[in-house]
Structure 1
Amino acid sequence: MKGKGAYGKLGVVAATVSPSGALAKEKKRAILEATLAVLRERGLSGLKMEEVARRAEVGKGTIYLYFRDKKDLLKALVEERTWAFYREVEEEVRRKAPFFLRLEALLQKRLAWIDEWRGLWAAVAREAMEDPTPWLKGLHEHYLHLLEELIRSGQEEGAVRPELSPRPTAAVIAALGCSPQLETEAYMEHLLLVLRKGVAP
């Protein structure tokens, strides 16, 4: 009987902890999404914790249960959105589809991610920490590794010239798919044309 009682108690504890964890995760996500929404509308100078709390539908004090201060919140936002983007990239890289279809889908996701931040990413990163360069470099390194994997698979497929080194080619694609000066669809079309055909006559 004692064993059953102990098991019963453990069962109650487990049932209580699990929803709490899910609720905490939901609240944290809501706070991060609200932070990005406020940043996009009002910029970094207009980011107020009161407004974030209102958008996330939580009390202002709740924010500090998850983040030490504004810098910690911004750092978490950059990491959360960047890794979410990288997970999408990884899915495209490893999808069973021709190289240029995967490349196009990947670049479209990249441009959508850039549009989501609307030029705020670097400014937010600088606000999050005094010297964000090593941190941002580490984040970008993962993106380059995924692009290298894509290039190698394209070479195996015969869609990418075998003499191209994957690392520099990945860096070039990362740089090109960065800041469109044209309307997005026209930019994508022209970028893929350049990548397919090159610029030599």
Structure 2
Amino acid sequence: MAKIIPNAREHILNTAKAIVSTQGIDALNMRSVSHGCGIALGTIYNYFPTKADLLVELMASYWDDFFIKVEEYLQEEHDFYTALRCIFNLQSQYVNAFRVEWLVPSFYQTPKGVQKGVILEQRYLQRFTQQIESLITKAHKAGYIFPKRSEQDTAQFIQFNLVSLSRQHTISYDLFEDFLRELL
């Protein structure tokens, strides 16, 4: 008789997340997850047929955690620039959790993995843009900022630059904020 494992999917994901955070993404494989959570390798494959499937699910879990924290932060009262800096710092932590590779479609090992990753990335970046747009709307209504473009266009511009800053570190956040202050 097969052993029933309560919350096996969550247990597998938590173990995978722990491996990534303590040993790095290169240490993540199905065997290490199986060993770490004490679940048979075959059972791991029943839940996640490939490493790419596991990574996509792990990536989704990270994004969901990120959005919850951003929503909680947006409920508090902060000026626009303080809130945006905090969101950037939070987003940078999440991007760095996978050492930037998880936002790059070439990371996935199969075309199916690439497709899943790209679709997921687009969906979550759109949600991120909506959160930024919400922040812009709130600040605009309060008279703190005065966007010269639509709030949606401004949010897309900010989201693109925040993600780029997290990935590449080519300019400082302070310089980006200075430009924003001139634009808004």
* TM-score, length basis structure 1: 0.71
Q: What letter is aligned with 1:68?
A: P
Q: Judging changes above 3 Å, is the alpha-carbon distance between structure 1 residues 39 and 160 closer, same or farther for their aligned structure 2 residues?
A: farther
- Show the counterpart of 2:53: 72
After superposition, the C-alpha distances for 1:146-193 in whole angstroms (9 at most, x for unaligned) are: 11111101101211115431111111111111233549xx82222222
Is the CA contact 1:78–1:125 (under 8 Å) kept in the aligned structure 2?
Answer: no
After superposition, the C-alpha distances for 1:9-48 in whole angstroms (9 at most, x for unaligned) are: xxxxxxxx9x944xx4652342231453488352xxx643
1:51-90 to structure 2, matched below 5 A, reads 51-54=32-35, 56-61=36-41, 62-64=43-45, 66-90=47-71
2:88 pairs with 1:107: yes
After superposition, the C-alpha distances for 1:48-104 in whole angstroms (9 at most, x for unaligned) are: 3222334x3424425235323323212211111111111112222232222222111
- Show the counterpart of 1:12: none
Unaligned runs of 5+ in 1: 1-16
Structure 2 CA distance for aligned equivalents of residues 140 and 126 of structure 1: 22
Q: CA RMSD in A?
A: 3.1
Match of 1:147 among 116, 119, 132: 132
- Show the counterpart of 1:92: 73
- Show the counterpart of 2:15: 31
Larger Rg: 1
Structure 2 CA distance for aligned equivalents of residues 195 and 126 of structure 1: 38
- Show the counterpart of 1:172: 157
* TM-score, length basis structure 2: 0.76
Q: Judging changes above 3 Å, is the alpha-carbon distance between structure 1 residues 47 and 143 closer, same or farther for their aligned structure 2 residues?
A: same
Structure 1 CA distance for aligned equivalents of residues 121 and 133 of structure 2: 18
Structure 2 CA distance for aligned equivalents of residues 124 and 182 of structure 1: 20
Aligned length: 174
Q: What letter is aligned with 2:24?
A: R
Is the CA contact 1:49–1:60 (under 8 Å) kept in the aligned structure 2?
Answer: no
Is the CA contact 2:19–2:28 (under 8 Å) kept in the aligned structure 1?
Answer: yes
- Show the counterpart of 1:10: none
Structure 2 CA distance for aligned equivalents of residues 41 and 162 of structure 1: 40
Task: Quote the sequence identity (%).
Answer: 21
Q: Judging changes above 3 Å, is the alpha-carbon distance between structure 1 residues 143 and 58 closer, same or farther for their aligned structure 2 residues?
A: same
Structure 2 CA distance for aligned equivalents of residues 95 and 188 of structure 1: 22
